Amino acid sequence: MKKILITGATGFLGKYLVDVFKKNNYAVIATGRNKDRGAELVSEQVTFIACDLTNEYETLKLMKDVDIVVHAAALSSAWGRYESFYNSNVKSTENLVKACMNNNVKKIIFVSSPSVYTATKNQFNVKESDAPKTNKMNYYIETKLMAEQVIKQAQTKGINTVVIRPRGLFGVGDPSIVPRILDVNEKMGIPLFSEGQQMIDITYVENVAHSIFLAAENDNVSGETFNITNDEPLSFKEITDLLFKDLPINKKYKRINPKVFYFLAGLLEFVYKSLHIKSEPVLTKYKACTLLYSQTLNIEKAKKLLGYTPVVSVKEGIKIYTDWWIENDKKSISS
């Protein structure tokens, strides 16, 4: 039985990763920040170990007899201190690479982010090679690119590496995309730009877990980077219309001038930085870009080299989510 270490196992994607590898007869070592959620993952095949990945010694202890590492842990936010992002996203990756080398681990699969492509323009059919070397839109994006470089250097030192860039994860347990849409709908109405015709890729979370399983099983994709989506680009309004179709919530749209919206994002960032305000602004340039501009990804490489095909469609995924929401009587975003 192969043994796999999954970092970030108590996060949204992490739980699905644990499930897919457990179902495929792997012994799983799970680590993450949330000890209570970690305890819920434990089974005959799954061991949970709390660990600070920024601590080199603690990281080293995780690696005994491990064959593959899936590094999904990250500080994912549009705002915060550079040191926090560097430690969580770069230093932890460096520690994992060192620990893998010291324990002869065969492969590292790194979960990166297509936020590295973010720019103030529409982007269609973006390929993996289109990623910039640096992107200082925010510290999360900047340190994700730095962490990718750490992984690429590991490839030159004899470790098989794969980088996955999954776009717009959603599904049961989603802490970000759908909850934010529901929240803003309740508070002010969903911002609508260009009549909601911006084209967007989103990905059902089980499809991402499936792609990472394929990467773990395939020994012929070493050193590769893959975009992962549902391969179903939809307009922003098509996505929100699908979401609210079965929810007992009145949908509200609010038309906003795009130039004013982006200016406000920049102004808020300037004020918060100038006044050293630690909390995240209600609007950032990154969030503005994700709402204002189209971004679709090319996944031909994943289809060809990984044999990746989405197992759950966008429509099916949204139906699974809305059924879960209704069943659990989600009266508000915090419930």
Is residue 243 in some structural domain?
A: no
Tell me how far the alpha carbon of residue 174 is from its chain's centroid: 10
Domain count, the chain: 1
Report CA 124 to chain centroid distance, whole Å: 20
| Closest residue by Cα to residue 193 from 133, 132, 122 | 122
The verdict on residue 31 lying in a domain is: yes
Assign 335 a pLDDT band (cuts: 50, 70, 90): very low
Q: Of 139-153, 160-174, 263-277, where does mean pLDDT reach its minimum? A: 263-277
Cα separation of 188 and 279, whole Å?
A: 21
Query: What pLDDT sits at residue 328?
Result: 83
Q: Residue 329: what pLDDT?
A: 63
Q: Is 332 helix (H, G, I), strand (E, B) or coil?
A: coil
Buried b (16+ CB within 10 A) or exposed e, 197-225: ebbbbbbbbbbbbbbbbbbbebeebeebb
pTM of the model: 0.92
Residue range 42-51: average pLDDT?
Answer: 93
In terms of Cβ atoms closer than 10 Å to its own Cβ (0-12, 13-18, 19+), residue 333 is: middle
pLDDT of 246 above 50: yes
89 domain-assigned: yes
The rounded mean pLDDT for the chain is 92
What pLDDT was estimated at residue 277?
A: 87
Quick check: is 221 in a domain? Answer: yes
Helix axes 139-156, 92-102, angle to 10 degrees: 20
3-state secondary structure of 208: helix
Q: What is the pLDDT of residue 39?
A: 93
Res. 176 pLDDT band, cuts 50 70 90: confident
pLDDT for 239 beyond 80: yes
> From CA 65, how far away is CA 57, in angstroms rounded?
16
The pLDDT of residue 226: 98
Q: Would you say residue 8 has pLDDT above 90?
A: yes
pLDDT of 132 reads 93
> What pLDDT is attached to residue 330?
52
Burial per residue of 237-250, b for 16 or more beta-carbon CB atoms within 10 angstroms, e otherwise:
bbbbebbbeebeee
pLDDT value of residue 64: 86
Residue range(s) defining the domain that contains residue 152? 3-170+202-229+297-310
Q: Per-residue pLDDT averaged across 142-159, rounded? A: 94
217 alpha carbon, distance to own chain's centre: 21
Q: Which helix (H) or strand (E) holds 12?
A: helix 12-23
Confidence (pLDDT) at 334: 37
CA-based nearest residue to 293, from 230, 199, 214: 199
For residue 109, pLDDT beyond 50 = yes
Res 12 pLDDT > 70: yes
CB 160 within 8 A of CB 222: yes
Residue 34, pLDDT > 60, answer yes
pLDDT at 333: 40
Region 294-312 average pLDDT: 97
Among 42-46, 75-79, 139-143, 330-334, which stretch is predicted with the lowest mean pLDDT?
Answer: 330-334
**For the residues 117-133, what does the mean pLDDT come to?**
95
CATH number of the domain residue 130 falls in: 3.40.50.720
Residue 107 lies in a domain: yes
Report the alpha-carbon distance of residue 76 to residue 112 in Å, rounded.
Answer: 10
- The string of pLDDT tens digits covering residues 186-227 is 888 888 888 899 999 999 999 999 999 999 999 899 999 999
- Whether 127 maps to a domain, the answer reads yes
